[in-house]
Chain A
């Protein structure tokens, strides 16, 4: 099954800056890749899904890219706000959804 690696365990940024998170997978390119937000003690909340034939997807201040050559997805939060502080999970569709360990983003006011 896929091994999913998210670049760092924690990311601290200043309010207003752009946070960029990386997700790498090891095996064949999945049909789609998803990003979720998880707050402490809560279940994940779906944010974006990007398919292998899509290069980029946007939703409000969020942007996701999918590079099947690099086997990588980038997740951007632009104009970050303290309310964006959470753990962000990358998930790859295999025969099941395989999750990365997550990157915890802290946005300082």
Chain B
């Protein structure tokens, strides 16, 4: 149990376009979903935390108008990278914690590789 999926698994887009990434908890309801970014050979960096039905909390230095997060239900969160630029190219990973059970463990999705040309 505790499977998280992401779609798409990879995406290539032109500079200036917007890209939407979906994160779904497949077999559990998620209290909270998190969005991370990981550059090559670096650690995961938390971008934002979102709870269903409320506004996301963004980490310092993360532009909320550029990285739009919508948490529409207990099983779905989306991250939209608006007006993407080459420096936004990265590996984006979401995670979720269970509504019921151990709330301390985050279950991660497989990640989405974004390349902006």
Contact = CB atoms under 8 A, between A and B. Distances in A.
A27 interface: no
Contacts, number: 47
Contacts of A36: 108
A43 B110 contact: yes
A44 B113 contact: no
Interface residues on B, range: 20 to 34
B67 to A, nearest CB: 16
Chain A binding surface, main DSSP class: strand
Interface string B35-52: 000000111111001000
Nearest to A90: B43
Interface of A: 4, 32, 34, 36, 41-46, 49, 89, 93, 96-102
13 contacts: A34-B105, A41-B113, A42-B110, A42-B111, A43-B6, A43-B109, A43-B110, A46-B107, A89-B44, A96-B49, A98-B46, A99-B43, A99-B45
Interface of B: 4, 6, 34, 41-46, 49, 59, 91, 93, 95, 102, 104-111, 113
